């Protein structure tokens, strides 16, 4: 099986200094009881199911032998445990990498919400008493800026050390879909087009200095 390093341009996109432009791997957390049942799961801090833990272990093979310069995680236990199971027990925690705050929809089945509100789509209609789509996108933009800022260095390294080129972010379905849209320079609502399964991996990178999706939902 080819690993994630086998994909991408034959000639890497580089900065004027000759360093490779940073790439961002996305990993959605494994299954939880609520994700299995189709419930909105935002800030509620629930653990992985046994199946979710097995999915996370399997994701380690999907990532392959990538030697990440920096591993980031949402603060929520389902993401942190997923990071641990793929081999990164001590990721850098980003408080703003949490899932969409679903407000009054938190914990409710999406089918129930749609039954009560025919035609409801979170991408169009938002959530009552929760975050707006723009607020979620602003959090995603902060992470993109961190990764793209001149091949910056992690906060615990000296600026004189090698630049960060390969970053892994372990987080959540809606949040990562929005982040992918924003990486491409698209409006956040275009994240609706990027289906993302539990414990799925994606790679964001470049094509001739244009932000691009290298692989998605594998």
Task: Could you list the residues known to form a binding site, using ranges.
Answer: 41-42, 78
135 closest CA partner among 191, 175, 107 = 175
Residue pair 168/63 in contact by the 8 Å Cβ criterion: yes
Q: Which residue has the tokens 């094509």?
A: 207
Residues catalogued as catalytic = 29, 99
In degrees, rounded to 5, the angle at the alpha carbon of residue 34 between the alpha carbons of residues 33 and 37 is 90
Non-local (6+) Cβ contacts of 22 within 8 A are: 147, 148, 151, 163, 164, 165, 166, 167
Look at residue 14 and give its three-state secondary structure. Answer: strand
Binding residues for substrate: 41-42, 78
């Amino acid at each position: 099986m080819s690993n994630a390093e086998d994909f991408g341009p034959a000639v890497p996109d580089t900065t004027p200094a000759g360093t490779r432009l940073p790439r961002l791997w996305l990993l959605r957390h494994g299954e939880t009881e609520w994700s299995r049942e189709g419930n909105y799961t935002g800030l509620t801090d629930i653990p992985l199911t046994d199946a979710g833990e097995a999915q996370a272990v399997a994701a380690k093979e999907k990532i392959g032998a990538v030697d990440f310069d920096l591993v980031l995680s949402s603060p929520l236990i389902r993401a942190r445990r997923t990071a641990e199971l793929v081999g990164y027990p001590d990721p850098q925690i980003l408080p703003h990498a949490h899932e969409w705050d679903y407000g009054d929809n938190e914990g409710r089945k999406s089918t129930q919400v749609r039954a009560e509100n025919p035609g409801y789509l979170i991408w169009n209609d938002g959530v009552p008493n929760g975050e707006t789509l723009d607020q979620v996108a602003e959090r995603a933009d902060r992470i993109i800026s961190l990764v793209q800022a001149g091949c910056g260095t992690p906060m615990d390294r000296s600026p004189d050390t090698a630049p960060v080129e390969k970053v892994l972010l372990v987080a959540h379905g809606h949040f990562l879909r929005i982040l992918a849209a924003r990486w491409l320079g698209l409006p956040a609502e275009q994240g609706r087009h990027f289906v993302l399964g539990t414990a799925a991996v994606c790679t964001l990178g470049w094509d001739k200095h244009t932000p691009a999706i290298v692989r998605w939902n594998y």
